[in-house]
Every structure is written in structure tokens, then in C-alpha cells.
Structure 1
Amino acid sequence: MKDEKIIFKKREDIPVEYTWDLKSMYKDEKEWEEDLKVAVKKAEEFLNYRGKIGESGETLFSALRDRDKIYRIISKVYSYASMKLDEDTRVGESQALLDKALRAYVQIEERLSFVVPEILQIDRETLEAYYEEKEELKLYKHHLDDILRQKSHVLSAKEEKLLAQMGEIANSPQQIYSMLNNADIKFPTIKDEEGNKIEITQSNFIPLMESKNRNVRKAAFEGLYHTYENFKNTYTQTLNGNIKKNIFNAKVRNYNSSIEASLDRNNIPISVYENLINSIHNNLNSMYKYMDIRKRALGVDELHMYDLYTPIVKDVEFNVPYEEGKQLILKGLHPLGEEYLNVVKEGFENRWIDVYENPGKRSGAYSGGAYDSNPYILTNYHNTLDSVFTVAHEMGHSIHSYFSKKNQPFIYAGYSIFVAEVASTANEALLLDYMLKNIEDDEKKLYLLNHYLEQFRTTVYRQTMFAEFEKIIYEYVENGGALTADYLCDTYKKLNEKYYGPNIVVDDEIAIEWARIPHFYYNYYVFQYATGFSAAISISQQILEEGEVAVKRYINFLKSGSSDYPINVLKAAGVDMTTEEPVNSALEVFGKLVDEMDRLI
């Protein structure tokens, strides 16, 4: 397949080896339905524990074990329904499946909501006695310690039940946004580089923005954002609803702010968030210099926002069909050793990945799955270098999940979003290092150098800009401000002007970009892309410089799941995120790469 713009007209036209195998989760919907009923039934039976959780070590252990069994089933049920819908978000049957799974999940959350309040009634001295009484209970020690750490923020059993009952309604802003953004919104048709008509989609927007033809880039940019502009008031209200939900939850749980509530879940100090923004503010000159280099390299009188994604090295093209991309990834990840590579190969060979775009398919890419399934990867592959790096990125998430699930019990198999981007970004860094070392063509090396700088720009600088935007708008609402489309657009445009500097024209259209960023519905999520990238740069450098010792340390990190707090798990991997050192080091690398590009251009 040599065509860069691979979009199948129908999903059934895609060769089966390029689709994920959800039948390995459930052979049919009947089997799925049976698991759904089992989970709901077990949740009803679980009510027998009400009022008894703290009676003895035996009862506490049994309750936690049975609770995990319920969540283990319903998480698989929900994961399957979600991925099934993502194959084609227009399919009513799949929408109904996810709706049924979500309702069941909320119902189960309600039934189990008394567990934590009852645990909080157990004093530490009694809990220590229970560990001696019931040896198996020690499995849950970190989990129980974490619950007690948040004691002042957990409500009564009655109040927790009420909040759980509100779960389905509280999820509405994100669900409405997802449907509008992925299924209902339609973008105009423009002409591509060959003069062919092509409809702008969520998936092909970035490839269009990478076009060498400036008219194509400008048309795609204006076509997409003018469409968002037509819906700006609707997007404002969906975002506003989500923000108010999170502020409400923070207040009722006795937090001083929504950011404190969000970061406390993973025991992350707010100073980590603030230090990130401050570090970026202190290193904006390197970004301004990079923008000047881009302007000179493209030979334009004015650099515009639609010029940010196109490679600045002319006449260099990486056309990488998917099969070639897989082999490139395996070579790039070779420093990680046989244990790691064997899992990557398993993912490639056993249909973990849904590769190509089809109408209605969810845009973007992600890694998903459940404790009792393979990891799964959704992507929309376009034979570009960016597509290769996307697969490598998502494979990092999947391998992290694979190792965590294989080496941790269900309660600790997940991992914090604070460390979630480390494995994915380390994969990209190692792949890029391999390519830079093995390509002799100076122009292609310059192209890859530009690609690396773009990773810094989009993952460190841009995500920090998102994080600052999020912090500003939450604080605005928390201080009594009323969100309007004009306020959001004005705030967002000013941040773009600050982060990109005087060497670029910050087009008016970019002011509405916030409306297409789904991560603003994830509640202070995006800053972790930047901190995770910084940690990953440090770890990848350790692997390349120290070899097997660093690899062993890293694999152990991947196997740790959430068996300890994320800050501690990363420290064991050789990175201390409580200091400014990892972020400053990453920005120092960025500055050196900018200087190197300046020398070569």
C-alpha cells in the first residue's frame, strides 16, 4: 500500500490483519451481555457487606477481593463497548452498547460506594492488627494507606452514594462533546496538492497541515477552524459544564481548588504543575529562536500558524507503508532488549492494532484494553513519519499495560496518568535516536532533527500552554467569572502569542483551537504530557548510555503499575520529578537542538 492517504470507504473493506481482534475479548454480544449481568448481580450481592467492612481482617479482605472481582468484570465490559463504538461512532447499536455499559458502571459504583467510607472508620491501630490476623490483607496495604491519606476528602456513605448516582449525568458534557466532535461535525472539502477534492477530517487534518503546498495548509487550517467557530457557543457550554462539575466535586470533597483535588488523587504536589509552567516561561527564547529558524527555512515573509507542522527541509519525503513502519519500530526499540521486543512482536502479530481510517471511526490514536484482555491500539495510519511515531508511542502505552497486568494484581495493575506518557515517549525518543544514527543523508537528518524539535514543541511547550490555559480558566470560574466563547478565545490567543513569540503571525483562527482539544475534559491531564516527556528523555538517555543496567531499572518501572505512588515509582527508575531538573534538562536539550538546526539551515 503506497498511497499516503489510506481511507477505506467501508470498514469491511479493510483486510482483517489490519483490524484489532475484539473477539478475543468477547466472541459475541451474548457473551458480553452475560458478563454485564454477572457484574451487576455481584454488585447487588456485595450489599451484604454494608455495615460490616471493618468487623475483622477476614471480612475486610473478602470485601476488597470481591470488589476487585466486580470491577475486573465491568471494566472489561465497558472497555469492549467503548472500543466497539470507536470502530464506527455512527452505529446506533454500538452507541446503545456503550450506554448500557456506562449505566451498569454507574449502578455498580453506587452499590459499592460504601466501601471507602467504612474503611475510613477503621483506625490505624486496628488496621495493623488486621494485617497480623489476616496475612493476605497485606496485599492491600498500599491501597488502604492511600485511602486513609485522603480521609478528610471522603464523604459519608450516604453522600458518596448520592455522588455515585450522579455519575451518569456528570459524564454528559464529555459524552456530548465526543459525539459532536467525532460523529456530527462536518468539515468542508478542499483541494489537495494534486488538485483533487478531499474532505477535511479529524484524522487527515495534521497530514494536510504537513503538506508542502502552503495553499493546502491554509485552506485546511481555515476550513477546520471556521467550522469550529460556527459551533463556538456549544463548545463553550460543554466545556463550561465539565469545569463546573469538577469544581463542584472539589468543593464537596473539601479541597481548596479543582487543581488540588485532581493532583491529590495521585499524591502529586501542586508545585510540580507550577514549576513546569515557570520552567517553560524561563525558556521561551529557545522557542522564539526556533520560530525564526522555521520562518527563514520556509522562505516566507510572514510565518503563520498553518506553517507550524510542515517539514522545513525541502524535497525530503518519508513515505513509510505500515509494514515497513513496523520493522523500523522494532529496530529503533532494540536497545530495550529481548523481553521488551518479544511483547512488541506479539502485538504486531496478534491483531492488537486497528490500523486504518474508515468513515465514522474515532479520530486520533490511543491504547486501551482491560485487565483480562490484550492491550489494544487504535490509530489512523497514513504512511507518514508521524504515523510511524504514533504507533511507536501507543505501543509504549500498551507494553506498559502488558507488563503491569502480568506482574501486578488487579488492584495495582493500572498506572497513574502522571507516569502514563513516560513509556510512550521513551519509545519515540529511542526510535528517533536510531533513525538519526542510521541515516547518512544530511537533508534527512535535518528533517529528523526538525521532527524531534516538533516533539518538544508539541509535547512540552504546547501541552504546557494547554495546562496554563486550563489553570487560568478554572481559576477564573472558581473566582466567580462566567465563561463565554469570547473569553476563552481571547485567553487562548494571548497564550499562543506568549508561547510562540514575535516571529510568527498568530492568526485569529487559532483562538478557537481549544474547542478541538478533547483533553480539556480530562481534568488537569495535559501537564503530564510535558512532565512525562521530560522523564522519558532522561530515561531514554540512561538506556542508551548505561545499557542493560538502565534497561533492567526501566523494565521494573513498567512492571510496577500503581504499587507505589507515581513520584516514587519514577524515582526508582532514576528520575526525580519533585525537582525542576528533569524539565530543565529537557529544555536544555531543546535549546541545543535549536542551535544545531540554526547551524545547519
Structure 2
Amino acid sequence: MEDLKKREEIDSKFKWKVEKVYKNIDDWEKDFQELKNEAPNLKKFSGNLISGEKILEYLKLNENISRKAEKLYVYAHLKSDEDTSNSIYQSLMSKIDIYMAEFAGYTSFFVPEILSLDDGFIEKEIERLDELKPFKFLFDDILKEKPHILSKEMEELLALASDCLDAPSDIHNILTNADMSFGKIKNEDGKEVELTEGNYSSFIRSKNREVRKSAFKQLFGEYKKLQNTLATSLTCSIKNFNFNSKVRKYNSAIEASLKPNNIPVEVYKNAVKVIDNNLDSLHRYVDVKKKLLGLDEIHMYDLYVPVIETPKEKIAFNEGVEIVLEALKPLGDEYLTIFKSGIEDGWIDIYENKGKKGGAYSWGGYDTMPYVLLNYNNELGDVSTLAHEMGHSIHSYYSRKEQSYYYAGYTLFCAEVASTTNESILIHHLIEKEKDEKKKLYLINQELEQIRTTVFRQLMFAEFELYTHESLEKGIPLTAEDYNKAWHDLNVKYFGDKIIIDEEIDVEWSRIPHFYSDFYVYQYATGYAAASAFSNSILNEEEDAVDKYKMFLKAGGSDYPINILKNSGVDMTTDKPLEATIKRFNELLDMLDR
């Protein structure tokens, strides 16, 4: 193996151009000093938002100062991620992080004061002042929460208690990541290695059945030992969500989670219903997998192993770019031009170096490029990651270009749509053009696994969340045994009677950190379904499909996510997007099962 290069040993043409944000630290320090001098001026508006003119003055000043703060924040974090061992940039990041907490205090009065104004006051001022009209959605969004905002004293009390209310999540995090140990197992070479949460995913995909079986039994065996503690922790977390929804006068925790983004509760429940009605597709997949793996009986620890293995190909970065550009041709010349200019202008930090942050992301601010961090390793998965992250970045590019500062950010419900649309179009392209039968089957299995884990699995999680919240809302206590039984029954329902539901899986609920962010996981499935709907219409060359998709990319956060998607031709209040995803799953199954 080649030694990992130091940051300075990497050619500049492979690095992102963060110097376009600030040429050097001196320029950053100068702006930071200006920010510290200017930001306290925002507090002067507290108690003075008495006219449309004053509100407008505040919004303009807040934008100028916030954009400066955002630039400083983005630069420090990007530089820190280049090399986390570089103490200069670590201290820069620490400096801005500490200050941002102080900065939040200068603006925290704004929403409560807007909500305390007389009913109808804001609407009249918007009518009176043309300059306020572009902010109508911003104020509508704030004012709709009025029934759920408490008195100033109560809000302060809840804010003071927020740290305590986060305790279950913190406990779960520390317990599962720091305190739990899973012992040693034998790897493919028969060597004893330590099993961790980090390497479990590679062992569960092992071609050696004994390796994946022992990893599975050992990992969940340890969770089983702590099931009562983990059940108490989860119950407390759910009780906190239920408490918060009651205090804020919502009908339920699910309404409290979805209503701020105007997502009807029915969108969530309907997604679960649609998947429940199509579980025979997942049952068939399990059966096909069992047949292709040549197993007499299939267990839960066999689900992640690829049915087809192909020799790893080396795909250089430039070649990866060409593959993605070729695949994304249906999106049109404008999209491809933006993609190419992103590569040429220095959006991307391509290769790994010593101390560089792992993984991949797309990130930036209103006044910076939408940067992409990669750790490109010349594999097919890296090509898919490139398509995914550039999907995020081009979404951000369009949003910032078309929307004002206040509307440039998009919600979590929409966040994964553009990135997944790119991935979906890429894998369609790779499957269509692949001539080698083995490689084609490998790619088909990749897409099937993506739908299984992102749509079926996440909606199984969503169904479990409904059960837990509704039980506790009704005052029904839940023990580890109750959680285990519910999880076991869901696995039986989702995977069918052709698979052995090993008892170890019953405690899997205790391993999933997302359950500490209530009603979060369903958005993976809805995001994937929306992306499938977009990619289908684009690849089928439906009328105005690309223009409608670009409308979505350009909308940013200028409306509620359901409306943004509906205006672009994807109605998430209907069954159609999810059913299109299941249709694709069945098509892929037909290709695999021949």
C-alpha cells in the first residue's frame, strides 16, 4: 500500500479552492473582527420591531452580518477538515464555533417578538410596504407556529431544560460508541480481530458465512445484555418528545415533528401503508437471494452479502467524471456545464491525505462555492459518491443563484432528492450499457439493495416509531420485551416466511440512533421515492421533465417541501412516487431472477 500523503504533498489541482473564500488567515481575522464589532448592533432592535420599516431594517442588517458569519464559519471548517491535525485551523474553527453561540444570542429575540405582535399587524405592514412583500412566506412560516409558542418565561424554562431532555440520546451515544465492547471474532483469514460497530458492516457482507454469522451473533448478543438499560433510555426519549408535543399544544408527537414543515401526518402514515401493501416484492427478493446464494435456509445475517462478486476495477477520478457526465446527459447541456465548471473551478477536494476528515459531503455558504469533500479511492462506489455529492452541490448552486439569502436553504425533506436523482440516473445508465453479464447482475443487485435499505428498511423503522410513540401516548408502558416483540413481528412481516428470523435480531431496535431523532427516518424513503419519480420522468423523456426538475432545484426553501415537489410534478401526498420505486424494484428483480 502507498503511504498516505501529507496535505502539502498533494498537487493543488486535486484540492478545492478555499482561497476563493479568504486568501489567507489575515483576511479571515479582519472579517472576524468586523463581525464582532457589527453583530451586537442586532440586539438594538430588541423591543423596537414596532413598524414595517424597522422590521425591514433588521432583516437587511441581519442578512449582511449573517452572510459574513457564514463565510467565516464555512472557511474555518473546510480548512480544518483538510487536515484535522493542523492546530492553526483547529483553533480557527474553535474560535468561530464559540462565537456563533454568542451570535445566536443577538438574534434570538426576533421570532418571539414577531409572534408577540398584534394579530394582523404583520399582514398589514406587508400590504403597506412593497419591500416587505418578498418576506411574506418567511412571516407566514413564523406566524403559523403561534399556537405552539409559549410565554417568554415558559420558553426560557424549556430552553434551560433542553440539555436534560437530550440526556437519553447522549446516554445511548456514549453507551453504544464508547462503553460497549463486542470482543473478538475470526476474520476470513482465520485471524482473531476485534469486532466494532465500525467494522461490523464489512463482516456482515463477508462471503464467508461463519464470519458474518459470528459477527451477527456477537454484536447483538452484547446489545441483548444491556436491553433493559437501552429500553429505558429509548422510553425516556420518546416520553420527552410526547411531553414536548403536549406542552406545545400539538395533538401528537408526530404532528409536532411534521407540522413545522407543513407535512401532513397522512404523508407519513400513507408511506407506511403503501409499503405494507407491497411487502410481497421484498419477500420475493429474499427468496431470489436465497436461491442465488445457494442456501438451504436463509438467515438474517445473510441479507447483506452481495449475490454476485466481481473483480474490483480501478476507475481514475477523470474517468469517473466522464462516466457521470455521460450518465447525466438526459439532464441537458446547462446542467452538464455547471457540473464541468464545478470540477474546473475547484469545488472538489478529491483525494485522501493524512489527517483529512473521512467520508464525503457537500457544503458551503450563500457567498461561497458549493464545495465537495471526497476521499476518492478509484472504486465504482466513489463514482457513485461523486454523482451524489455533486447532486447536492448543483442543487445548492441553483438555489443560491435563484433565491434570496432567506430562501436559499432547503429542508431535510428535500435535501436528499437531488443527490439521489443523480445516483438513480447513474445506476440506470451503468446497468443499460453493461455488456458483461456478471457485472450487470452486480449492478442490478446494488440498486436492489439500495431500495431495500433506503425504502423498505427505513419504513419498517417508521412503522416501529409509530407503534412506540402511540403506545406511550396512550399510557401503555413499554419494556425491553415489548420492544423486542414488536421488532420481531415487524421483521416477520417485512421479510416473509422464507427466511429464519433469528432471535438475535429482536434487539436490533436498541442499536439505531435515529430513534432518538423522532420521525426522522421516513424522509430517507420519501426522498428516495421523489428522486425515483424525477429520474423516471427524465429518463422516459416525459414532456418538460427536465424543466420541472430544474424548478425543484431552483426553489430552495421558498415554499413548504410538499408544495415545492408538487409544483415540479411529484406529489408526495399520493401513492404514485413510492409505487414507482416499487415498480423499479420489481423490474430489477425480474432482471436478477431469470
For the superposition of Structure 1 and Structure 2, which TM-score range results when normalised by the shorter chain? 0.7 to 0.9
Q: 1:464 aligns with which of 444, 459, 474?
A: 459
Partners in 2 of 1:253 and 1:273 — Cα distance?
21
Change in Cα spacing, 1:184 to 1:29, as seen in structure 2 (3 Å) is farther
Aligned partners of 1:84, 1:170: CA distance in 2, in Å?
33
Unaligned runs of 5+ in 1: none
Which residues of structure 2 form unaligned runs of 5+?
Answer: none
Q: Give the aligned partner of residue 43 of structure 2.
A: 47
Between the two proteins, what is the percent identity of the paired residues?
Answer: 46
Q: Deviations over 1:92-138 (max 9, x none)?
A: 99888777656544444444333223223445654344234432211
> Contact 1:36–1:104 (CA<8 Å) still a contact in 2?
no
Aligned with 2:292 (options 290, 297, 303): 297
Q: Which of 268, 271, 277 pairs up with 1:273?
A: 268
Q: Which residue of 2 aligns with 1:428?
A: 423
Letter of the 1:51 partner, please give it.
G
- Superimposed CA distance per residue, residues 450-502 of structure 1 (whole angstroms, 9 cap, x where no aligned partner): 22211211111011112222333333443446666555455434322321222
Contact 1:417/1:525 (CA < 8 Å) preserved in 2?
A: no
Deviations 1:537-586 (A, max 9, x none): 11111112226832122112101101111111111211111112221232
Partner of 2:402: 407
| Alignment partner, residue 577 of structure 2 | 582
- Tell me if the contact between 2:310 and 2:442 (Cα under 8 Å) persists in the aligned partners: no
Shift of 1:86: 6.2
CA distance 1:265–1:82, shift in 2 (3 Å): farther
Listed as ranges, the matches of 1:32-431 within 5 Å are 42-53=38-49, 55-76=50-71, 104-122=99-117, 125-164=120-159, 193=188, 205-222=200-217, 225=220, 242-315=237-310, 320-349=315-344, 352-353=347-348, 365-378=360-373, 381=376, 383-431=378-426
Q: Give the TM-score normalised by structure 1.
A: 0.84
Does structure 2 retain, via aligned residues, the 8 Å contact 1:287–1:499?
Answer: yes
Q: Which of structures 1 and 2 has the bigger CA Rg?
A: 2
Looking at structure 2, the residues matched to 518 and 17 of structure 1 have their Cα atoms a distance apart, in angstroms, of 38
- Aligned match of 2:522: 527
Worse-matched range after superposition: 372-381 or 257-266: 372-381
Query: What letter is aligned with 2:442?
Result: Y
CA spacing shift, 1:368–1:172, aligned 2, 3 Å: farther
Alpha carbons 2:492, 2:501 under 8 Å: kept: yes
Which whole-Å CA distance do the structure 1 matches of 2:265 and 2:204 have between them?
Answer: 35
The residue identity in structure 1 corresponding to 2:548 is R
Shift of 1:367: 3.0
Q: Distance in 1 between matches of 2:214 and 2:382?
A: 22
Deviation at 1:161, TM superposition (A): 4.5
Give the Cα–Cα distance (whole angstroms) in 1 for the partners of residues 160 and 63 of structure 2: 20
* Distance of 1:295 and 1:476 partners within structure 2: 36
Distance across 2 between alignment mates of 1:174 and 1:100: 27
Cα distance change, pair 47–387 in 1 and its aligned pair in 2 (3 A): same
Distance 2:181 2:76 in 1: 25
Task: Judge which range, 417-426 or 77-86, deviates more.
Answer: 77-86
Q: How far apart in 2 are the matches of 1:523 and 1:118?
A: 28
Q: Cα–Cα, structure 1 residues 261 and 357, in superposed 2: closer, same or farther, change >3 Å?
A: farther
Partners of 2:73 and 2:535 in 1: CA distance: 34
**Separation in 2 of the partners of 1:514 and 1:586?**
26
Residue 418 of structure 1 aligns to a residue whose secondary structure is: helix
Q: Which amino acid aligns with 2:391?
A: G
Moved more, 328-337 or 544-553: 544-553
Q: Distance in 2 between matches of 1:508 and 1:218?
A: 13
Aligned-partner Cα distance in 1 for 2:70–2:111: 19
Shift of 1:204: 5.5
Kept in 2, the 8 Å contact 1:114–1:157? The answer is: no
1:475 corresponds, among 459, 467, 470, to: 470
Q: CA–CA distance in 2 between the matches of 1:520 and 1:88?
A: 32
Mean Cα displacement is larger for which, 381-390 or 404-413? Answer: 381-390
Deviations 1:353-399 (A, max 9, x none): 45567898766544333323333444555554344323322322222
**Alignment length, in residue pairs?**
594
* Residues 493 and 511, structure 1, Cα contact 8 Å, conserved in 2: yes
Alpha-carbon distance between aligned partners in 1 of 2:326 and 2:61, rounded to the nearest angstrom:
44
1:110·1:161 contact (CA, 8 Å) conserved in 2?
no
Aligned partner letter, 1:52: N
- Return 37-46 or 250-259, whichever deviates more: 37-46
Select between 151-160 and 347-356 the one with higher mean Cα deviation.
347-356
Q: 1:442 to 1:88 in 2, by over 3 A?
A: same
Would the alpha carbon gap of residues 573 and 60 (structure 1) be closer, same or farther in structure 2, given more than 3 Å must change?
A: same
Tell me the SS of whatever aligns to 2:540.
Answer: helix
The reply on whether 1:501 has 2:503 as its aligned counterpart is no
Specify the code of the residue in structure 1 equivalent to 2:45.
Answer: Y
User: Is contact 1:190-1:199 (8 Å) kept?
Assistant: yes
TM-score under structure 2 length normalisation: 0.85
**Which range moves more in the overlay, 514-523 or 20-29?**
20-29
Provide the C-alpha distance between the structure 1 equivalents of 2:472 and 2:95, rounded to a whole number of angstroms: 33
RMSD of aligned alpha carbons = 3.9
Deviates more, 1:74-83 or 1:501-510: 74-83
Q: Is 1:113–1:157's contact at 8 Å kept on the other side of the alignment? A: no
What is the CA–CA distance in structure 1 between the aligned matches of 2:72 and 2:239, rounded to whole Å? 29
SS in 2 for 1:579: coil
1:448 aligned onto 2:443: yes
Q: 1:135 to 1:149 in 2, by over 3 A?
A: same
Matching residue's letter, 1:50? S
State the alpha-carbon separation in 1 of the partners of residues 231 and 24 from structure 2.
Answer: 39
SS of structure 1 residue aligned to 2:362: strand
Q: Report if the CA contact (8 A) 1:114-1:161 is conserved.
A: no
